[in-house]
Amino acid sequence: MTLNAGASVEDLYRVPDNGKAELVNGELVLMSPTGARPGRASFKIAASLDQHGQEHGGGTALPANVGFLVDLPNRQSFSPGAAWYLGEVGEQELEFLSGAPAFAAEVRSKDGYGPAAERAIQEKVRDYFAAGTRVVWDVDLRSVDVVRGYRSTSPGQPTLYRRGDRAEAEPAVPGWSMAVDELFR
């Protein structure tokens, strides 16, 4: 749902605390709160990334609702379900982060299905790559229980991870993977 046209980053900061939004084509696009299953999947991805970061370093794991500011002609921000960020967070810790995450997980919620939603996720994946993201996961919890791993080097050929597989995000998060079964419990 579009909240207001001609919006700015300052408007993005004023979205209520429980709200999630992105700035796309100069419009503040609100995203509805998610259900328990997509929320848990996002949490599990972020927790697994955080564990990897504590053990190996190399980036910062971030949960849902963190804003990433980018400078694309049609998009000014992202707010993925979970992310791995390579930039410095220290001075930005209370602000939206500058630049795209190296890895972003988009976990579909109730309204993330159907032809329009499919087009929207494909557009968003293209935007992520244009902004510098290396790997994007499209986590489909409902229709086929699959994680589609898109890489900037071959954006039209996602790797499909199903139950029993370990999904990874090379080269964005070297050495990290997680069991797909964890996302579908």
More confident residue, 89 or 148: 148
Provide the mean pLDDT of the chain.
89
Mean pLDDT of 61-70: 93
Torsional class of 26: left (φ above 0), alpha (ψ -120 to 50), beta (otherwise): left
DSSP conformation letters of 27-90:
EEEEEPPP-HHHHHHHHHHHHHHHHHHHHH-SSEEEETT--EE---SSBSEE--SEEEE-S--G
pTM listed for this prediction:
0.89
Instruction: Give the separation between CA 126 and CA 150, rounded to whole angstroms.
Output: 10
pLDDT digits (tens, 9 = 90+) for 150-165: 999 999 999 999 999 9
Answer yes or no: is pLDDT of 3 > 60: no
Least confident of 19-23, 35-39, 137-141: 19-23
Q: Confidence band (pLDDT; 50, 70, 90) for 2? A: very low
User: What pLDDT digit, counting tens, does each position of 26-63 carry?
Assistant: 877 777 778 888 999 999 999 999 999 999 999 999 99
Q: Is the pLDDT of residue 92 over 90?
A: no
User: How would you class 155 by CB atoms within 10 Å of its CB: exposed for 0-12, middle for 13-18, buried for 19 or more?
Assistant: middle
Q: How far apart are CA 167 and CA 183, in angstroms?
A: 10
pLDDT score for 58: 93
Residue 172 has pLDDT above 80, yes or no: yes
Model pLDDT, residue 4? 55
Residue 99 has pLDDT above 50, yes or no: yes
**Domains along the sequence of the chain with CATH:** 35-184 (3.90.1570.10)
